[in-house]
Structures are given as structure tokens and as C-alpha cells.
Amino acid sequence: MENAAYVALSRQMTLRRELDIVANNMANADTTGFKVEQLLVGAEIGERARNEAIRPSASFVLDNGVGRDFGQGALKQTGRDLDFGIEGEGAFFVVNDGNGDAYTRDGAFTLDPEGKLVTKAGDAVQGDGGDIILDPARGQVTVGDDGTISQGGLLVGKLSLARFETLSALSKDGDGLYRNRSNTDPIEAAGAKIHQGSLEGSNVNPLIEITNMIEISRAYERVSKMIENVNDLSRRSVERLGRAS
């Protein structure tokens, strides 16, 4: 009976984690470039008691980390010259936040006082030759779908786009950034297109997330009831054994 309660408790812990993830998805439904997340659940086989070899080991529910859907979000027009949306799954803008290269799908850029193209957090957007410097006096900024940047009819740079063959190489790093924590090197994002004056929206489907939240809440209640019943059964068994002795 104790095993049943512990197994149920392990499931209850993962359900609480799932609920947190769903709530975070819903909170970021309008966040530029946000990618929907879900909990990866597995099984962990507990060690069998040494004096009870005939009984099978209990399987506990295991939190295997967070999975992320990098599917394309809808592109929304903004009309800003320095807003860029990527069309193409698995491609990222490259930025430098002072700790090396990081990657993002949030293309809401601006210029710092020196004319450097930066993110909302002030991280330098990277081009093929490093930082991208623009001069407002040269006229309107025009960006082609291949990322080439022109001002006054003159080519001044090109946005660097990176792709990873295995997206699991990326880990979330805050402010819409991802970091490469593996030994995998990024490759050129061939085929990806840049849309100037647009931003990629979140790929969260609020209706699905609300449904998930309801299902998780109901599952949590069922598991709680199961734990309560197991504990009640254990209590009554102890009481009967006490009376019998």
C-alpha cells in the first residue's frame, strides 16, 4: 500500500510541474517568438526490497525535463523597419550578449546611441561580419528576404541566421534567448526568409492550453483522492491488526 501512495505522489509531483508549464505557455501566448513547452514524463524503476525478491519493483513517474515545439508561429505585420520575422523552422537570429553567441526568434530590434543594431535587452545583433552598424542619416533601412541590409541603395551588412541539426542542443536562457550547451556547431540557415516589418508570434494555441489545464487539474484531483484512499486503507488495516492482537 505504501508503494501505491509513493507512486501516486510521484505522479502528483509531475502534474504540478505540468500545470506550471501550461500556465507559463498561456502567459506567453502573446510573447514574440515564444515556443510552446511541455513536460517530458518517463518511468523510474525503484529498487526492490532485498527480502522480498518475489515482488516486482515499483515504477515511479519521472520528470524527464521540458520539451519545446519549435514550430513556426504566425507572422504579424508591424510596419517598423527594424522588426524582422523569420519564416522557416529551426532558424535563429544570432546575438551577442557579452557571454558569447546566443540565439533568438524575437526580431524586434532597435538602434543603440552608436547606431548598433541591438535587441530590446541591448544585445548586439550579429551579421556576417560581426556587429551591424547603421547610420540613420543614410536613409531608410531595407532588408531583403535573405537578410541583406541596404541603406540609400548601398549594401551595409547581412543578418546572420543560424540553424541547428538537433534543436535539443539549445537550452533556454531567458529574455527569449537560447544557448548552445552542446558540442554541436550551428550551420547556415539556408532556405529561411526574413520578413521586414513583421514579427513572429508565439506558437501557443490558447484553446489547447486551457484544455490541458483542465485535464491536468482533474488528474491531480483523482490522484489526491487515490492517496487519501490508500492512507485511509492503511490506517484501518493497522487498527484491525491492533484489535486482533
3-state secondary structure of 173: coil
Whole-prediction pTM value? Answer: 0.81
pLDDT at 1: 46
Is residue 198 within 8 A of residue 85, CB to CB? The reply is yes
pLDDT at 187: 87
CA distances from 165 to 182, 184, 185, 187 (A): 12, 8, 9, 8
3-state secondary structure of 178: strand
Is residue 144 within 8 A of residue 125, CB to CB? The reply is no
Angle, vertex CA 169, rays to CA 163 and CA 172, nearest 5:
95
How far is Cα 33 from Cα 104, in angstroms, rounded to an integer?
A: 8
pLDDT at 244: 63
The pLDDT profile of the chain, 245 residues, written as one tens digit per residue, is 456 777 788 888 899 999 999 999 999 999 999 999 999 887 777 665 555 555 566 677 777 888 999 999 999 999 999 999 999 988 999 999 888 899 999 999 999 999 999 999 999 999 988 999 998 888 889 999 999 999 988 898 999 999 988 888 898 988 889 999 888 888 888 889 999 999 999 999 999 999 999 999 999 898 888 888 777 777 776 667 666 65
**CA distance from start to end of the chain:** 21
